[in-house]
Amino acid sequence: MRLREIAKLIDAECIGDPDYPIEGLASVDYAGPDQICYAESAKLAGQVEQAGAGATVVGPDFPELAGRNLLRVEKPKLAFLRIMESFAEVPACDGVHPQAYVAETAQLGEQVSIGPNATVLGDSRIGNRSRIEGGAYIGKGVTIGEDCRIEANATLLDGVSLGDRCIIHAGAVIGGDGFGFEWLGDHHHKVPQLGSVAIEDDVEIGCNACVDRATLGETRVGAGSKLDNLVQVAHNDTLGRHVIMAGQSGLAGSVTLGNGVVIAGQAAVSDHVTLGDGVQVGGQAGVTQDSDPAEKLWGTPARPIRRVFKEQAATARLPELIRTVKAQEKELAKLRRRLDELSGQAENK
């Protein structure tokens, strides 16, 4: 790509050589002469000057730099995102691979791709332009919307439904049995998990993540939610829209997350807990109680983050505090003795 083409793509003022060839993208630190990068702020001017990027996307207040190609835009980060998208390969439709298995009663939309060693069982429906990559497994009666990507070796079990533009990453499992047992005096008796999973539009579920089916009814992941790798969503959980769950975080059963909730890495939420819209849960926190909207929680058990900070600061001072209290013990004893003496003297007089 020539620089002028990129400038046109992002509606930028081109400062430097419009015919300069760009072959790829990189961050400021790593960009070479055939790559384009971006600088979020004018403070990076020195770094851009020294770095070897072929071109840099910059904002309105960024200075011109002698011998450096710049593309000036209003919002460099968003412009760069658009360039990244133009460089992202959109795979052509590969059709159904001869070594895939697709049941006769499965319904495939137009331009669906199904990779080698993938399995699509009966009565499943796959929307237009969706891709089922090699080794992926689509159970019976699964519904997949349009423009979805089911990555290699991912598993969608019977009856699961997906909206449009969802990405289920490699190895993820949607629709496994919820973890439900009833202790019958001498054994844990399996409670049949008869419900399903509904994944709304624009949801992304990370590699080797798990979303279990409901005992009855459904487990639901709201539109636009993004779940990272190795995340656990249990039976009958309900996630609102635009929820974020970072790597290795997990929900116990029957949890309700409002819109825009953010669960940081390795954090967890206990069963039947409800978190209001916009609640943010810090890394490795363990939430055991309901929370009002917009609350920021941390720690196990999770508390409002300000309280946690106070307690942490106080705990850090605890060894010192213990020393102080010990010294006070001695001081008290000393004062008592002096007071005893003084009282004695007073009485003697």
- The residue (of 18 and 305) whose beta carbon lies closer to its own copies is 305
Among 157, 160, 198, 263, the residue binding its own copies under the rule CB under 8 A is 157
Task: Check binding of 217 to its own copies (CB under 8 A).
Answer: yes
- Residues composing the chain: 349
Contact call for residues 264 and 285 (beta carbons, < 8 A): yes
Task: Check binding of 291 to its own copies (CB under 8 A).
Answer: no
Residues 31-50 that bind its own copies (CB under 8 A): none
Task: Check binding of 278 to its own copies (CB under 8 A).
Answer: no
Task: Check binding of 318 to its own copies (CB under 8 A).
Answer: yes
Among 41, 107, 289, 324, the residue binding its own copies under the rule CB under 8 A is 324
Task: Check binding of 228 to its own copies (CB under 8 A).
Answer: yes
Cβ 169 to its own copies shortest distance, Å: 5
Residues 90-109 that bind its own copies (CB under 8 A): 97, 99, 101
Task: Check binding of 317 to its own copies (CB under 8 A).
Answer: yes
- The residue (of 63 and 294) whose beta carbon lies closer to its own copies is 294
Task: Check binding of 130 to its own copies (CB under 8 A).
Answer: no
Among 54, 163, 224, 240, the residue binding its own copies under the rule CB under 8 A is 224
- Rounded Cα distance between 341 and 338, Å, is 5
Among candidate residues 169, 235, 242, 272, the one labeled active-site is 235
- Active-site residue 235, yes or no? yes
Cβ 317 to its own copies shortest distance, Å: 6
Among 68, 125, 129, 242, the residue binding its own copies under the rule CB under 8 A is 242
Can you read off the two tokens belonging to residue 73? 């835009």
CA 8 to chain centroid, in Å, comes to: 32
Task: Check binding of 316 to its own copies (CB under 8 A).
Answer: yes
Task: Check binding of 295 to its own copies (CB under 8 A).
Answer: no
Task: Check binding of 18 to its own copies (CB under 8 A).
Answer: no
Task: Check binding of 306 to its own copies (CB under 8 A).
Answer: no
What amino acid positions are annotated as catalytic residues? 235
